[in-house]
Chains A and B, each alone.
Chain A
Amino acid sequence: MEWQIFEQYGPMLLRGFGVTVLCWLLGTVFSMALGLVIALIQRYAPAPLRWLIQIYIEIIRGTPFLVQLFVLYYGGPLIGLRLDALPAGILGLTVYGSPYFAEIFRSGFRAVPLGQIEAARAIGMSEPTIIRRILLPLGLVSALPALINFSIILTKETVILSIITVPELMYQVNRMSTETFRYLEANLVLALFFWLLVETISRVGRRLESRVTRHLLERP
């Protein structure tokens, strides 16, 4: 193995990693937000709207991310949606992740005991207040481990953005590989970067989890 090659390609790979983190971060935040909205619609909206949302969920979950991204990036201009690679990639991640996050939120909400919601109704609390004060805080805590887990899965979906020329880490690794034929070294570096990112997320996630559940778990 020849590691000195990274003197030349290191900065490029670092920039790529930066783009990867940016795509992951924005993609996760946006798809989580969209997923939350979807889950709330699923819980409260009238039936026709729920069916539409269900169709959206089935389509997105039933097709590969790669295909969605192609359709968005190369098919989008046909309907006037002309995006640069980076925003298209972030939008793609947002769309792709949202139904999974929606399902995670839905199960989180279902974990909130009905009695605690009835207790709020019984004192005359309005539904929006119940959502804000009872359902969301308790539902989010229940959903947290699964939210973190899916966020971790999404880190690795970012590599697919290289297909539409988003200059993220995979893209740079591919470039380096074809220019130098150092496939193994380049991909090992990619693996290392991803491991670092995932490890950081899961550590932060565990800290967060123990923080928010400290009043909600029986003392051992």
Chain B
Amino acid sequence: MVQASSVQIRQVDKFYGPFHALKKVSMDVLPGKVTCLIGPSGSGKSTLLRCINFLEEYDAGEIRIDDQLIGYESPGGRKMRGAKLREMRRSIGMVFQQFNLWPHMTALQNVAEGLVRVRGLSKSEAESRATEALRKVGLADKMGNHPLRLSGGQQQRVAIARAIAMEPKLMLFDEPTSALDPELVGEVLNVMKALAAEGMTMVVVTHEMGFAAHVADRVAFMEKGELVAVDEPSRILHSPEDPRIQGFLRTYHERNSF
């Protein structure tokens, strides 16, 4: 059982110049639960996710991970010192749409890098843990391969291994299957399901409604920077009350039917 974090998001605002990307968003991510963020493109899902580990700086409000404010020394105060921010990020795993593996390193080196450079483990200790993480995502036999010699699905699984090797208490997924060929989506979702079953706290931005329906404990719907609703998957996906959600799902079903 992994140690699982909770996240509290309170009244978060984010601006890109005049563009209001997040509008007073508040949400709780419960420990050990999977929360899916859905909604149309440009609705602010990824921005919100990236605010959680402060890759994106929010302008107002508070984001707390296990009661500890991220990004700022105090609410509305000075920005957090680099060392402190890095320490918080160590326990937050992140998986990107474009995998973002380091192409000059093998799969094993990609996973071991953080263990050596951030956690300070010896090379051999790091490699044995990295091997373990790669085994977990089913890629122990590919650990000597460079990213370009792997399929998209394999690359994304290495990226997941890279994150979980750091033993995070919270995992953020930013559209992890959107860049994949349809036949490769399943292998990545399976790894994510296994992770969820271990009790990892997960926040997942996704267009995979099936994953949201079957794996998520809670689904949040965003539109135009607003958090419209957050509820159990069935309430959002099968009997939504808000017309904006109804409209989004109608478009989704139309596009996916043939």
Contacts and interface: CB of A to CB of B under 8 A. Distances in A.
Contacts of A215: 103-104, 146, 148-149
A75 interface: no
B53 interface: yes
Interface stretch (A32-40, A115-123, A145-153, A181-189): A115-123
A77 to B, nearest CB: 46
Interface residues of B, number: 30
Contact of B102 (A122, A124, A134, A217): A134
B41 interface: no
Interface in B79-134: 82-83, 86-90, 92-94, 96, 98, 100-104, 113-114, 117-118
Nearest to B147: A215
A118 B86 contact: no
Given A133-B113, A134-B102, A216-B104, A122 B86 contact: no
A125 interface: yes
Contact of B100 (A113, A129, A217): A113
A122 B55 contact: yes
B148 A118 contact: no
Contacts of A118: 55, 96, 100
B89 A121 contact: yes
A218 interface: yes
A215 B109 CA distance: 13
Interface string A153-178: 00000000000000000000000000
A190 interface: no
A138 B100 contact: no
Nearest to A214: B146
A144 to B, nearest CB: 13
B104 to A, nearest CB: 5
A141 interface: yes
B33 interface: no
Given A123-B166, A126-B86, A217-B148, A116 B114 contact: no
A138 B90 CA distance: 23
A199 interface: no
A118 B50 CA distance: 10
B52 to A, nearest CB: 11
A137 interface: yes
A118 B94 CA distance: 10
B104 A141 contact: yes
A127 B82 CA distance: 9
Given A215-B146, A217-B148, A218-B148, A123 B100 contact: no
B163 interface: yes
Q: Most chain-B Cβ atoms within 10 A of its Cβ — which of A115, A122, A125, A219?
A: A122
B157 interface: no
Nearest to A129: B117
16 contacts: A116-B100, A119-B94, A119-B101, A121-B55, A123-B90, A123-B118, A124-B88, A125-B117, A126-B86, A133-B102, A134-B102, A141-B104, A215-B103, A216-B103, A218-B148, A219-B148
Given A119-B162, A124-B86, 17 more contacts: A113-B100, A115-B96, A116-B100, A119-B101, A121-B55, A122-B89, A123-B89, A123-B114, A123-B163, A124-B87, A125-B118, A127-B82, A133-B117, A137-B104, A138-B102, A216-B104, A217-B148
